[in-house]
Amino acid sequence: MASDATGEATAAEVPPADVIGIAAPRRRFAVALTPARRRILLALVLLAAALFPIVHDNDADIDAVANALSYAILALGLNIVVGFAGLLDLGYAAFFAIGAYTYGVLSSFQLEPLWSSFWEPFAWLGLVARMAQSGGPDVVHFTLSFWLALPLSAAVAAGFGVLFGAPTLRLKGDYLAIVTLGFGEIVPIIVRNWSSLTNGAMGLNGVAAPRIFGYSFGINAEPFYYVGLAMIAFLIFVSFRLRDSRVGRAWMAIREDEIAAGAMGVDLVRFKLLAFAIGAGFAGMTGTFFVAKLQTATPEMFGFPVSVMILVMVVLGGMGSVLGVVVGAIFLQLLQSWFLEDLSGWIHSFGRLVGSDALQRVDLVQAIELIFGIILVVMMLFRREGLIPANRRTAALTLQEQHAEVRRGAAIDLRGFGQERTDVPALEVRGVTVRFGGLTALQAIDLSVPAGGVVAVIGPNGSGKSTLFNAITGLVHADSGSIRLYGEEILGLPPHKVLVRGAARTFQNIRLFPELTVLENVLVGQHARLQTGALGAVLTLPRTRAEEHAAREWAMQIVSIFGNRLTPRLNQRVNALSYANRRRVEIARALASRPKVLLLDEPTAGMNPAETIELASQIKQLHTLGLTIVLIEHKLDVVTQLAETVIVLDHGEKLAEGRPEEVRQNEQVLTAYLGRSAGAGSAGLVE
Ligand code: ADP
Ligand code: MG
């Protein structure tokens, strides 16, 4: 590091990679969009959007933009499912259909049951009307208001989202995609064939236009445009609020690494269902809007090509990027309704000019699916993150930033870290056996960790150490035995519940959420200790704000345990960090959950000697602060320095147990580790 002024300038320009430990970002954000500037920009865009129909008084164009807005809402909804939670849904249009028919059926002449006194209260509420028929008994006419239908169809679609999601969301990746594809096919087929409810392929007739203060929208594009604009502004707001909350972080954690998310306390099924339901809700609302605008609904409006189109919009705009998907959707929709027709016209005239028959027959509007396909391929090849990427790229730190003095985790308040009872062991494993088919990975293992103790687990590769951690944290199923945390049985609990009970872990092969920042990773660690749900996130009442603020404070405190290693990098994405720093983030993330027992799987693996010494002293510090630790470790000097007790595993069996010095002398241990006896010297083991 240079100390004189000239030297410092060069050093800051070319930071040595090993000190910084971050890959140089591909490019800096071209314009620094501060929150204030962003707000001004957004206000300008909204103003322009509000003035558009006044300035450009062309009904067809306004109508096209209103349609584009409804696709943008669909893209926003799908973005929650695919972009935030990482669940590939190929049948999203099914929810669009459900919302559409909810309003369509309840405000048209499709169903006309005979009038009876049962309908009186509904008539009184204005949901139905009594209609006289010439030469027959009176019938019911459904007259659900459009304004009421918006939330109702959102709720109905969300309900179906839960219904479809519950059995399928346990599936992963490709399987989920295929099942959703199935739903996307089934719904339009049901719609087509259930003629009594939907009028089949002929389409619903006489769907009522929205009315407000006695004024009917009719087929005027303008009022629909403004309703669409209001809806999209509202849903962009909702998307942002969700994204920046505990809920959004949980979704992104699932997207980034499902196993780690579960181990950090995220209830996978619940949060996936939530994403599915909210995404479906957006689509349901759009369905109502769309049908009210067209005043009919046919099954073709909701087929597989529509699902694909919405997905292309999301991919084009940038998965997970709220504004990106809106831009992507509006762009693609207007491309279809405006530019392609003009473009085809130009090609035709060009064809006439050069006398080419083929060129005169080109119809780009018909080729839209081909164009979507090309867009997908091009995006995947050249810009996978979309037009407006969700990820904020962060610039590398300057040397000054890296060496900024940071208060070391001295003032940290570790209450909540367990040790509430001392009459039972913090962790007690009894007779745990794990089999993978024919392989017995663990054979009747016993392990007892006293409150406030540090126990190390050592053994050659493949001896079952990680499997022991997996069994404790619920990631693998133990065939027999018992695992108690402060006397409470945790065996058989899913990972997120184990974390809630107080066992947090790190993984041998670091499992962070790579696209999230250091701060966000550590905040996900607190997931189970926070309360904010989807509604709370959208409303952001003072209570939520206070909770979020406290969570951030706690994250900073935890991170400060590692001195200035992580603190200056709080807003960097973790995939830009050095290996050692990623290990530290993983430990910080586990600590953030206020565990009673911390399980560290080879925390110093891949670290150089200096980093190892530093981390060992930090682990020791945690121990002095009262944390109970189980440590898998290969470096025996670290084990000797930290652990009070060591257990040695070999081929799934416990070979030895005792104080580190004793175990180091054990003949069997030496043979297992080095394949030679104590007489041959134990230098290799000690190193
Ligand atoms: P260690 O952490 O001590 O190196 P592990 O616990 O990872 O060892 O592995 C113990 C044994 O169990 C190995 O033989 C490994 O191949 C096997 N094993 C671990 N996980 C699984 C799994 N999910 N399915 C099948 N075999 C597994
Ligand atoms: Mg292992």
User: Given its phi and psi angles, is residue 669 left (phi above 0), alpha (psi -120 to 50 degrees) or beta?
Assistant: alpha
Q: Of 644, 667, 637, whose CA–CA distance to 655 is shortest?
A: 667
Section 559-580 average pLDDT: 89
Average pLDDT over residues 131-157: 89
**CA 455–ligand 2 middle distance (angstroms):** 16
Contacts 24+ apart (CB under 8 A), 610-618: 611/580, 612/638, 615/580, 615/583, 615/584, 616/641, 616/642, 618/561, 618/562
Ligand nearest to the CA of 458: 1
| Among 268-272, 389-393, 407-411, 601-605, the least confident range | 407-411
pLDDT value of position 476: 94
Ligand found nearest the CA of 457: 1
Residue 678 clears pLDDT 60, i.e. is over it: no
For the CA of 632, the nearest atom of ligand 1: 2
d(CA 462, CA 436): 13
How far apart are the CA of 682 and the centre of ligand 2, in A?
A: 23
Give the DSSP per-residue string, 179-193: HHHHHHHHHHHHHHH
Burial of 685 (0-12, 13-18, 19+ CB in 10 A): middle
More confident residue, 341 or 186: 186
pLDDT of the residue at 247: 96
Any idea which ligand is nearest the CA of 603? 2
Give ∠ CA 668-672-675 in degrees, rounded to 5.
Answer: 105
> Distance, CA 655 to ligand 1 centroid (Å)?
17
Question: What is the pLDDT at residue 671?
Answer: 79
Nearest CA to ligand 1 atom 6: 464
Residue 200's pLDDT band, with cuts at 50, 70 and 90, is confident
Predicted confidence (pLDDT) at residue 12 exceeds the cutoff of 50:
no
**How high is the pLDDT of residue 32?**
59
Q: Measure 414 CA to ligand 1 centroid, in angstroms.
A: 34
Residue 158 reports pLDDT greater than 90? yes
Asked whether the beta carbons of 235 and 132 are under 8 A apart, the reply is no
Closest residue by CA, ligand 1 atom 25: 436
Angle between helices 221-243 and 59-78 (to 10 degrees): 20
Among 82-96, 204-218, 527-541, 604-618, the least confident range? 204-218
Has residue 465 got a pLDDT over 60? yes
Question: Which DSSP category does 3 fall into?
Answer: -
Pair 344, 363: CB distance under 8 Å = yes
SS3 call for 393: coil
pLDDT of residue 7: 37
Atom of ligand 1 nearest to the CA of 467: 6
Calculate the average pLDDT of the chain. Answer: 86
198 CA distance to ligand 2 centroid (A)? 58
Section 241-256 average pLDDT: 95
Note whether 426 and 452 are within 8 A (CB).
yes
Atom of ligand 1 nearest to the CA of 465: 3
Partner residues linked to 656 by β-bridges: 648
Question: How distant, in Å, are the alpha carbons of 23, 256, 409, 613 from that of 578?
Answer: 8, 18, 21, 17
Centre of ligand 1 to C-alpha 553, Å, is: 38
With a 6 Å cutoff on the Cβ, whether 102 touches ligand 1 is: no
> Is 645's C-beta closer than 6 angstroms to any atom of ligand 1?
no
What pLDDT sits at residue 452?
A: 87
Evaluate: CB of 594 within 6 angstroms of ligand 1. Answer: no
| Gap between the Cα atoms of 183 and 189, Å rounded | 10
Q: Which tops the pLDDT comparison, 509 or 365?
A: 509
Point out the ligand 1 atom lying closest to the alpha carbon of residue 437: 25
Closest protein CA for atom 24 of ligand 1:
436
- At residue 685, the pLDDT reads 43
Ligand 1 atom closest to the CA of 468, numbered from 1: 6
Tell whether the model's pLDDT for residue 16 goes beyond 60: no
Q: Judge if the beta carbon of residue 10 lies within 6 A of ligand 1.
A: no
Percent of the chain at pLDDT > 70 equals 89
- Cα 508 to ligand 1 centre (Å): 12
Angle 304-317/93-106 helices, nearest 10 degrees?
120
What is the percentage of the chain residues whose pLDDT exceeds 90? Answer: 53
Pocket test for ligand 1, best of 435, 439, 468, 654 (most atoms within 8 A of CB): 439
Evaluate whether 435 touches 479 at the Cβ level (below 8 Å): yes
Ligand lying nearest the CA atom of residue 464:
1
d(CA 531, ligand 1 centre) in Å:
36
CB 495 within 8 A of CB 263: yes
Q: Is the CB of 86 under 6 A from ligand 1?
A: no
Find the 456 Cα to ligand 1 centroid distance in Å.
Answer: 18
pLDDT at 394: 60
Exposed (0-12), middle (13-18) or buried (19+): which is 134, by Cβ within 10 Å? exposed
Chain centre distance of CA 145: 35
CB-CB contact of 320 with 329 (8 Å): no
Question: 56-101 pLDDT, tens per residue?
Answer: 888 888 999 999 999 999 999 999 999 999 999 999 999 999 999 9
- CA 109 / ligand 1 centre spacing (Å): 64
What is the Å distance from ligand 2's center to 372 Cα? 45
Over residues 3-20, mean pLDDT: 38
Average pLDDT, stretch 585-607? Answer: 93
Which ligand is located closest to the Cα atom of residue 475?
A: 1
Going by alpha carbons, the residue nearest to atom 22 of ligand 1 is: 436
Structure confidence at residue 340 (pLDDT): 82
Query: How far apart are the C-alpha atoms of 645 and 584, rounded to whole Å?
Result: 24
**29-107+144-382: in CATH 1.10.10:** no
Whole-number Å distance between alpha carbons of 28 and 395: 6
The end-to-end CA distance of the chain, in Å, is 31
436 lines ligand 1 (CB under 6 A): yes
Please list the alpha-helical segments (H only) found in 526-599: 534-539, 542-559, 579-592
The finding on whether 441 has its CB within 6 A of some atom of ligand 1 is yes
- Atom 13, ligand 1: residue with shortest CA distance: 462
pLDDT at 415 over 90: no
DSSP 129: E
Inter-residue contact 272 to 254 (CB < 8 Å):
yes
Q: What is the mean pLDDT of residues 40-49?
A: 88
**Residue 142 phi, psi (nearest 5):** -80, 130
For the segment 496-516, the average pLDDT, to the nearest whole number, is 95
Whether the predicted pLDDT of 684 surpasses 90: no
Distance CA 271, CA 250 (A): 7
459 CB near ligand 1 (under 6 Å): yes
Residue 355, pLDDT > 90, answer: no
Considering the chain, tell me which residue range(s) the CATH 1.10.3470 domain(s) occupy. Answer: 29-107+144-382
Integer angstrom CA distances of residue 37 from 43, 237, 392, 571, 575? 10, 17, 16, 20, 28
Output the CA–CA distances (angstroms, integers) from residue 249 to 80, 253, 627, in the order listed.
12, 6, 27
Contacts of 654 (CB under 8 A, 6+ apart): 445, 446, 647, 648
Where residue 110 falls among pLDDT bands split at 50, 70, 90? confident
Determine the Cα–Cα distance for residues 229 and 53; give it in Å rounded to an integer.
11
Lowest mean pLDDT among 169-183, 432-446, 564-578: 169-183
Question: Tell me, what's the pLDDT at 5?
Answer: 39
Structure-token pair, residue 176: 């989920």
Ligand closest to Cα of 506 equals 2
Distance (Å) from CA 349 to ligand 1 centroid: 68
pLDDT-derived band at 392 (thresholds 50, 70, 90) equals low
Alpha-carbon distance values, 228 to 109, 172, 433, 617 (Å): 25, 34, 59, 59
Average pLDDT over residues 185-205: 89
Residue 111 pLDDT: 84
> What is the pLDDT averaged over residues 147-162?
95
Give CA–CA dist 153/148, Å, rounded.
Answer: 9
